[in-house]
Structure 1
């Protein structure tokens, strides 16, 4: 019946409940917002997990490469373009009765050329096309590498070793090599060695690294004067890196001029057992 106390009380309760609904709605909205935030966080965590999984896979792949016998990683190579060294200018001396002086110098030349520096190899005592070894492997490799050039000024054979040529013949060739070395050093002095140089063309345009291979042998055997070797060092521009090799006898006369002196000492050599120079290792 309308207007009874129980009915009125229920109506009041409903009104109170209706008044609470906005608060419940607000709470529901807040819960919904929190749920959305949790969902966003879950998505972010999932993305992080995917990134970590990708990194783990990359690390696992690298670990597999390292752990697999015989397997390795080949670093990417870039195109060789002209560049200028920042710290060249030292004098290196490589001497001794062991194998590897020319090999070490060639290795430095290849490394420098790989950085885009201009390198030239001038060989004394080696006759190239007129030599006992007419086809030297280093010449073929150098010809294929930008920025690295070579020439030789030797006589046929090797002075005092299975040769028979007169000393005057070897001395004349060595003197020619000495004059050529002076020309190259003078040309380097005219060039800006702090700047990139052309990778092709004559070394008279300047080089960053000059290798005088076997020049110390020529001095040791009396074909040129040791003072002339010192003169080359004195004449070089500050930024030119100069490498001189050769001689079984220590070149004490270069003690004060050299920044690096390396002795290549023989412990055992197949030549002592009668083995001739082998193609691919000695020439």
Structure 2
């Protein structure tokens, strides 16, 4: 026999939760505004998954109709990867999610034919671009929906600065300038920073700090970057 009182109690409990106890399902993406954005997240460490985690946050936010932009430092391409990146293809078909890349070919400090001075110049340019995006967000009403096809210069709800912490670790950009960027962000802008194997100087300013630690990595066994997992 069904315990109707227990069912009623459970239904009442579910009714007080955001999902009302319903099984999650997809819905059409419509412009919306977040109620609780405004935190700073920092993902660093020697393990794989920092950019992957940030992209996951971006796709999740875009799925709710929030405006998201990804600005990548340092990742300008390399001989070990193809020019096409899976994440860029996916971003292109998701409403409200955009990206731009400010990296130089190769990787700073490696004998890969790339110029370290150019890496520094590109990183400085990316930092200036990040300042522009933060200033644009400060001018926008982030408590309201933003056009999903609008330019990031018109404001975004979530800004991902991928590998900016790595650039700061390697002194390609001034760590104090990155700290100033965090301090200058508007209250309602959700800011995600990734990169680096050393604890970032802005860690004390962040609300979420995650150290992605390596226990094993395919690269250590001689594997190159794999299509669909690393790019």
How does the TM-score come out when normalised to structure 1?
A: 0.71
Structure possessing the higher radius of gyration over alpha carbons = 1
Structure 1 residue 75 displacement after superposition: 4.3
Structure 2 equivalent of residue 124 of structure 1: 73
Contact 1:118–1:148, Cα closer than 8 Å, also in 2:
yes
1:262 matched to 2:189? The reply is no
Q: CA RMSD in A?
A: 1.9
Structure 1 residue 76 displacement after superposition: 3.0
Structure 1 equivalent of residue 230 of structure 2: 282
Structure 1 equivalent of residue 157 of structure 2: 208
Secondary structure at the counterpart of residue 94 of structure 1: strand
In structure 1, how many angstroms separate the alpha carbons of the residues matched to 2:71 and 2:147? 18
Secondary structure at the counterpart of residue 255 of structure 1: helix
Structure 1 residue 130 displacement after superposition: 9.8
Secondary structure at the counterpart of residue 205 of structure 2: coil
What CA deviation, in whole Å up to 9, does each residue of 1:185-210 have, x standing for no partner?
A: 00000000000000012101100000
Structure 1 equivalent of residue 140 of structure 2: 191
In structure 2, how many angstroms separate the alpha carbons of the residues matched to 1:279 and 1:227? 36
How does the TM-score come out when normalised to structure 2?
A: 0.87
Structure 1 residue 166 displacement after superposition: 2.1
Contact 1:95–1:245, Cα closer than 8 Å, also in 2:
yes
What CA deviation, in whole Å up to 9, does each residue of 1:194-247 have, x standing for no partner?
A: 000000121011000000000011111111110011011011000000000000
Match of 1:172 among 109, 115, 121: 121
1:77 matched to 2:55? The reply is no
1:217 matched to 2:159? The reply is no
1:106 matched to 2:55? The reply is yes
Structure 2: runs of 5+ lacking an equivalent? 2-22
Structure 1 residue 167 displacement after superposition: 1.5
What CA deviation, in whole Å up to 9, does each residue of 1:73-125 have, x standing for no partner?
A: x8431110000000000010000000000000000000000000000000000
Contact 1:116–1:199, Cα closer than 8 Å, also in 2:
yes
Structure 1 residue 255 displacement after superposition: 3.1
Contact 1:211–1:243, Cα closer than 8 Å, also in 2:
yes
- Deviation larger for 175-184 or 161-170: 161-170
Number of residues of Structure 1 aligned to a counterpart in Structure 2: 211
1:182 matched to 2:131? The reply is yes
Q: Which runs of 4+ in 1 moved over 3 A?
A: 128-133
Identify, as 1 or 2, the structure richer in helix. Answer: 1
1:136 matched to 2:136? The reply is no
Contact 1:93–1:260, Cα closer than 8 Å, also in 2:
yes
What CA deviation, in whole Å up to 9, does each residue of 1:5-58 have, x standing for no partner?
A: xxxxxxxxxxxxxxxxxxxxxxxxxxxxxxxxxxxxxxxxxxxxxxx9xxxxxx
Structure 2 equivalent of residue 161 of structure 1: 110
Secondary structure at the counterpart of residue 149 of structure 2: coil
Structure 1 residue 165 displacement after superposition: 1.8
Contact 2:81–2:227, Cα closer than 8 Å, also in 1:
no
